[in-house]
């Protein structure tokens, strides 16, 4: 597994558009963030992709993996700080 550890932004990107409700909308929503640099946008995309790849794909086995549950909560808090609903990524 290859994870690029870019620093995620400390807050929302300042988008005027509504919060995304699908992954497709999320990609466009990240692109129009006026407060995020290109590197921060890459970090947000990486966070979302890796969250889905690592945690959502293992959602049903998380009950047996308390350390992974803790990591998932940490990543979900980061997503919330960026105004991204982790539950939207589980759909």
pLDDT at 4: 67
pLDDT at 1: 52
pLDDT at 51: 92
Q: Is residue 19 part of a domain?
A: no
- Is the pLDDT at 2 greater than 80? The verdict is no
pTM: 0.87
Residue with tokens 């086995």: 61
Q: Is residue 2 part of a domain?
A: no
- Calculate the alpha carbon distances from 85 to 2, 9, 65, 79 in Å: 24, 16, 22, 7
> Chain-wide mean pLDDT for the chain?
89
Q: Is residue 63 part of a domain?
A: yes
User: How many whole angstroms separate alpha carbon 45 and alpha carbon 52?
Assistant: 11
Query: Whole domain around residue 57: which residue ranges?
Result: 37-89
- Is the pLDDT at 36 greater than 60? The verdict is yes
Q: Is residue 69 part of a domain?
A: yes
Q: Is residue 20 part of a domain?
A: no
Q: Is residue 51 part of a domain?
A: yes
What the block records as the tokens of 35 is: 């407060």
- Is the pLDDT at 81 greater than 90? The verdict is yes
pLDDT at 42: 93
Number of domains in the chain: 1
């Amino acid at each position: 597994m290859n994870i690029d550890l870019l620093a995620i932004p400390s807050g929302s990107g300042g988008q005027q558009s509504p919060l995304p409700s699908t992954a497709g909308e999320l990609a466009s929503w990240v692109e129009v963030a006026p407060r995020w640099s290109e590197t921060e946008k890459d970090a947000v995309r990486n966070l979302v992709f890796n969250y889905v790849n690592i945690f959502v794909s293992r959602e049903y086995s998380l009950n047996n993996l308390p350390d992974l549950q803790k990591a998932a909560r940490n990543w979900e808090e980061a997503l919330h700080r960026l105004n991204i609903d982790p539950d939207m990524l589980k759909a």
